[in-house]
Structure 1
Amino acid sequence: MTSQVSSPKTVLITGASRGIGLLTAKSLLTKGYHVFAGMRAPETRNQKAASELQELANTNRSKLTILDLDVASDESVERAVAIALSYGQLDALVNNAGVMPVGITEAFTMTQIKDLFEVNVYGVARTARAVLPAMRQNGSGIIINLSSAAGRLSLPFFGIYCSSKWAMESYVETLNIELEGSGVEAVIVQPSAHRTDLVATSPAPNDTDRATAYGTMSEGGDRMLGMFQSAFDQNADINDAQNVADAIQRLIEQDGPRPVRTVVGEDMGVDGINQAVAPFQNGLIDELKTVYAPA
């Protein structure tokens, strides 16, 4: 059994049935955390993941609560968070649930775009709103939000995905500014390409007529996904998704203040963008504090 932390925390993870969410849940369970693993259909479609987590929790004598959680539903989020809070203080929320559509931007229908934002943006807002009152009342807590290198970049064929991450990052950073002094933080993790099933499950655009109007350009999304998969097949350590789970755990265990953004994996210039923007962002906020901050 892996050595456990002396003061295990309580952590709610969305999208815990696969990828980084599942890895994070497993890592925290081996350390003795009480993990609230949020996933859709834990008794049917995701029963295997739920069983794996329960077996790991039993082995490590950790607490695990499986939550039937759909971040696209107000009712589901409110119900799941209420269950988590019924156990006592919630120390951390990990907003991991996300979708990555890839293809010609124009060819994604409005329904697809709305569905994407429902998860990648509104889902983050739903869960944050659900946990923040209790965290503010306790005077402590951290909300860790999984973005992407795409949250700072504009990439061909990733147009609606990038835009959802840009929107989410602005929402989270603003939350963090407004939470200053409350003991609660909202931060962003920006992974680059890591080995998960996100590439294999990437939705394609539904408007095939508009896609084919771009000629051979319409095949670019698949070629880019193939490039990522080829890189993953090399099994390089830098693409190991466990690195992201480890970064999340470090943020949970770190004493504040934490960095607003944490880059994991290949830099892709994102850290440079973060560092370049920060002085302007921070300078503007310092000026605005003379207007909005309490005297």
Structure 2
Amino acid sequence: MTDTKTILITGASRGIGLLAAHALAAKGHRVFAGMRDIAGRNADAAKAMRLSALENGYDLTPIALDVTDDAACQAAVDAVEATGALDVLVNNAGVMPVGLTEGFSMEQTEAVFDVNVYGLMRMTRAALPAMRRRASGLVIHLSSSAGRFGMPFFGIYCASKWAVEAYSEALHNELETFGVDNVLIEPSGHGTDLVVTAPAPADQVRMAEYGDLAHGRDRLLGMFGQMFETDTTGTDANNVATVIVDLVEMTDPRPIRVQVGHDMGVSAVNNAVAPIQANLIDMLKPVYTGVASDA
């Protein structure tokens, strides 16, 4: 590694965020690992991370961060910037509700979007001004293969990840002239506790009206659990952490999207849509930049 980066990761108390924090620190980067309630329910996770950093000589620091809180997002970015320029933001925090789409209350849906979409936007808005001023920076959004199609019983989750895809793609083009890169990672199913902690629909009246179909959630979660137990290579969450490291250290132009894990047809969708989207941008760019095309 030739260039040490200062990196802030959201949702780093467990899962992909935790793995990525350690993988990046092991490569010599300065990593700030964002966690909610760092003095409470995540106190043990923070303590374990500090001990690991000490034992391994990592520059790895737990930092208080709740992506649903505007002030907390800005405070975390400011705290990192106070130690040096923030080079990379990894928007990893997320929740994955599973169940009949109609069964999720509006309150539940708003809570999902508050983390998966608005939390990501809060963090990005907090980080971008300094990155733009320095004409340097990278924002990595953890989307999902579910951000490229709609899947039964994952409707709310898919909707939130579709929103992330659109938001990130717009930023990717808007930030191009500022030297700030904005990219997406699209993991398929991986063995993290997202499955174990997946929120279930709260509207039992609506659920009852679907009859046996309402139990589809349990059957799907069981299928994924079995897949994680039997396919420990293709569903290893370390695969995603490795891609995060690769994107951080990449010197060639970064792709706007990287799919990780079982393809599920996502690469075919990406490949088919890419030239259509590129043609649209080529058509619009002279308008929104005010610079005439060379063509």
What TM-score, normalized by structure 2, do the two folds share?
Answer: 0.96
- Residue in structure 2 matched with residue 23 of structure 1 by the alignment: 19
Match of 2:156 in 1: 160
Q: What CA distance in whole angstroms lies between the structure 1 residues aligned with 2:231 and 2:102?
A: 34
Tell me the residue number matched to 2:226: 230
Gaps of 5+ in 1: none
In the alignment, structure 1 residue 266 sits paired with structure 2 residue 262: yes
Q: CA deviation at 1:29?
A: 1.6
> Stretches of 4+ moved more than 4 A in 1?
none
* Identity in percent: 53
Q: What corresponds to 1:72 in structure 2?
A: 68
Distance 2:266 2:231 in 1: 23
1:252-287 Cα distance to aligned partner (Å, 9 max, x none): 000252101000000000011001001110001101
Q: CA deviation at 1:60?
A: 2.9
**Hey, what's the Cα distance between the residues in 2 that align with 1:72 and 1:221?**
27
Partner of 1:125: 121
Counterpart of 1:50 in structure 2 is 46
**One of 185, 198, 215 as aligned partner of 1:189:** 185
Q: Write the mapping of 1:105-116 to structure 2, written as runs, cut at 5 A.
A: 105-116=101-112
Equivalence for 2:246: 250
The alignment yields a C-alpha RMSD, in angstroms, of: 1.0
State the number of aligned residues: 291
Q: Give yes or no for the alignment of 1:201 onto 2:197.
A: yes
Contact 1:30 1:57 in 2 (8 A): no
| 8 Å contact from structure 1 (residues 41, 47) kept in 2 | yes
Distance 1:235 1:56 in 2: 28
On the 8 A contact 1:29/1:56 being kept in 2, the answer is no
Query: What is the CA-CA distance between 1:59 and the residue it aligns to?
Result: 2.4
Q: CA deviation at 1:56?
A: 2.2
Q: Match of 1:55, as an amino acid?
A: L
C-alpha separation in 1, matches of 2:43 and 2:194: 19
Instruction: List per-residue Cα deviations over 1:156-177 (Å, max 9, x = no partner).
Output: 0000100000011100110001
- Are 1:90 and 2:86 matched, yes or no? yes
* SS at 2:202 equivalent: coil
Is contact 2:7-2:29 (8 Å) kept? yes
Provide the residue aligned with 1:171 in structure 2: 167
TM (norm. structure 1) is: 0.96
**Do the aligned residues in 2 keep the contact of 1:13 with 1:95 (CA within 8 Å)?**
yes
1:268 & 1:238 partners in 2: Cα distance?
Answer: 12
Q: How far, CA to CA, are the matches of 1:122 and 1:266 in structure 2? A: 28
How many angstroms apart in 2 are the aligned matches of 1:266 and 1:50? Answer: 32
Which residue does the alignment assign to 2:212? 216
